[in-house]
Structure 1
Amino acid sequence: MIERGFASREIAAKIGCKSHITILNLKKKYEKTSKVEDKQRSGQPRKLNERNERTIIRRLMTNECSNAVQLKKSLQINDEINVSSNTVRRALKRNGLSARVKHKKPLLSKKHCENRLKFAKRFKDWTVSDWNRVVWSDESKFQIFGSDEREYCWKRQGETLKDAHIKPTVKFGSVSVFVWGCFTSSGVGFLCKIDGGLNAELYRQILSEDFMETLRYYDLSVSDVIFQQDNDPKHTALLTK
């Protein structure tokens, strides 16, 4: 369009460019270099090339390393490349990876995984009516204060601190409530608060009272339901069975 005699303002208007100065700058650059691409920026070249970045991604994905610090040490020992942890983090971000807080999950051994797979295969063909027969139960501790879980809030930059932005803590430690509970396909069962510890004798008392009361409340008989519990020693004790 410049060669056809259009003014810079006309060109900017036709192509939707906000400033005609941009057109003039591109014209000058093309007249000097016969190109419109930006020149290579000055500064120190990257310490990690594409091959190095593929290496650290492979080590991360194969669980050889799990964080930037370990990747930095791995590069130093195995590849004789000395970089900072922040350099590794920037390389990971360039390749679409981002850091996240690890989720807490129970530690599973190889035997646990095998048993879970067997369980899934055994019950994969169950229907909804089959699962409706199951009464699920477990014990749980609810911490009133001092929970280890992270809590997040949203606030504007520069906004003063409000109650909604604070997670309250107490000096005397955590306060918790320990309970046993169960639920059926029809609804939740009776909740039993446990003071102190739970032993096999107390667990059997809970089954004979709270569990049986739950069945009576939903008009269920023992022969109609499948009681689900975990393999806690109190649950698997001979007298409990």
Structure 2
Amino acid sequence: MFNKAPHGKELFEDLRIRIVALHKDGLGYKRFRNNLKLSYSTVARVIQRFSKMGSIQDRPHKGRSTKLSARPVRQVQILASKNRRMSAASIALEVAEVEGPLVSAQTIRCTLQQVGLHWRHLRRKPLLKLAYRKARKQFAEDNLSKSMNYQNCVLWSDETKINLFGSNGVQHV
């Protein structure tokens, strides 16, 4: 059987207490649903849950609980924001040394994503420094008056390095 998505909002706890109290007083659903301005099915669902579970508290949610508590998460956030070049594996080891459980690097990456520290590509330095750009400009100005035959012999390249396979050395921070 498939779980259905929730329909609508959760009711406040004091409203659920009032519904159960009115039901225990012997009033029918239709009598007090108009006073509370709720639908019949909403009132019925609250009372059915109370009779089945014996409580009006929300049930615990499904899914695996988090491996890191709030304190190690803050520590991960501080370590990553102080040193953006620190790897997730080294952060995991440091957290385990101090107080937290030993977690994988992937858990650290997911934790950093959740707290808003997303990995970015390192900014590359300019390919040509200012001195080289000036030298190139000077070379072009000096050879402007030379013949076209000379300029055809000069190799005009843009220093672009292209990798067909493998990483081109991009680092994430």
TM-score scaled by length of structure 1: 0.35
* Greater strand content: 1
Higher relative contact order (CA 8 A, sep 6+): 2
TM-score norm. by structure 2 comes to: 0.45
